[in-house]
Amino acid sequence: MPSSKLPRYVWRRKDRKGRWNYYFRYQGTFQRLPDDPDSAEFHIRYGQLKANIEREPTAGAVTVRAGTLAALIRDFKESPEFAKLGEKSKVYYRFQLDRLSSLGPFAAKDIGRAQILKLRDKISARGYRTADQFIQVASRLFTFGIDREVVFKNPAAGVKKLNDEESYLPWSDDEAKKFEESKPPQWMMTAYMLGRWTTQRRGDILKMTRDQYDGAAISILQGKTKKAKDADVLVIACHSELKKYLDALSIEVGLLVPGPKGQWDESAFSKQFRAHLDGIGLQHLNFHGLRHKTATELAESDATDAEIMAVTGHSTTAMVRKYTRRARQKKLAASAMAKLERPAGTPREHESETQPEKSETQRSEKDA
């Protein structure tokens, strides 16, 4: 990664073996960062160090004027709403809020939609999904400002997403079979089986340990859950295919999907998984599509919204409805085409019951 694209305060240097090392440099002090600048660990550590210096009083620092966007961002970061976010989400929010720094000196109430979209368009060069995530954070910031009567409109509200909602394609049965027959390494096959039959996200699967599986079900506290309460733990009954696989797995303790150095870094895992999919001709798929596949299958099996949510862990029905809508469309289309296949002249079911009864006059005319 070129140094010009590294986050603020980050420096990189080559060691004696020619490898790049990354450091957080502030006021002449260097602190080592994780080696992969694209990894979640890197951004979490970077966010922690950046947050530390933001809390430090700086001599000659410019005072943030009340009513500016910079003041709104500061207040949001110090709010209970921000404090309730998970640590990983806080880092992510800070990263996206920093993108608004160019507008910081301006009055928050004067920030318009055109300015937000101009930033969004610039960010889209890094990917549509990243641009959509920026809009999501900006919208939450301005909602916070409306609640505190700092601003009176949300310039990021209702912005249409750039990223295709169907970018996470559900795997087909043939594609799943092709993957299984490709003989992936055990750690990859285990991750696939867990994703396929529990619908859980990559990060949660990479943290799963043997003691979460009791021989009949898997207990999961999802990473997006803010507080570890018993009520938040999902207990998902194992499908027979997953039970058979886990019972035969040689791992007796520790991580079910061990990485080369312990727990997998999510970015490194994704690169390995991506390389395998590309190598077997499944370039259009990704790991998250397994979640979509099984959720869609649940909907096609007439599982209710509540039942699907109990497995996937969704807190609202918005995403679940996408699965059920797709399942209903499939069934209705099949029913429609079956009617089209009916031989010509074949009476419709219950047709005789729906025909109006002939009057006495009509019967008499026919008899005559």
C-beta pairs of 83-91 under 8 Å, 24+ apart in sequence: 84/226, 85/226, 86/223, 86/224, 86/226, 87/44, 88/40, 88/44, 88/223, 90/47, 91/43, 91/44, 91/46, 91/47, 91/48
**Residue 14 pLDDT > 90, yes or no?**
no
8 A C-beta contact, residue 131 and residue 162: yes
**Alpha carbon separation from 145 to 50, 65, 95, 107 (Å, rounded):** 24, 15, 19, 12
Q: How far apart are the first and last CA of the chain?
A: 95
Q: Among 167-176, 243-252, 258-267, 332-341, name the most confident range.
A: 243-252
Give the span between the Cα atoms of 299 and 325, in whole angstroms.
8
Check residues 356 and 106 and name the one with the higher pLDDT: 106
Instruction: Mark 229-264 as b/e (b = at least 16 C-beta within 10 Å).
Output: eeeeebebebeeebbebbeeeeeeeebbbeeeeeeb
Q: Which tokens in the block code for residue 80? A: 């209970």
The CATH 1.10.150 domain(s) of the chain lie at: 3-147
Nearest partner of 42 among 73, 21, 65, judged by Cα: 21
CB 90 within 8 A of CB 78: no
CA distance 60 to 295: 55
What pLDDT, on the 0 to 100 scale, is given for residue 165?
A: 55
Question: Which residue ranges does the chain devote to CATH 1.10.443.10?
Answer: 173-328
pLDDT of res. 367: 47
Per residue in 187-242, pLDDT (tens digit) is: 999 999 999 999 999 999 999 999 999 999 999 988 765 444 445 788 999 999 99
3-state secondary structure of 20: strand
Rounded Cα gap, residues 296 and 176, in angstroms: 14
Architecture label for domain 3-147: Orthogonal Bundle (1.10)
Place of tokens 């008899």: 367
Pick the CATH number of 173-328 from 3.30.470.20, 1.20.1250.20, 1.10.150.120, 1.10.443.10: 1.10.443.10
Rounded to two decimals, what is the model's pTM? 0.60
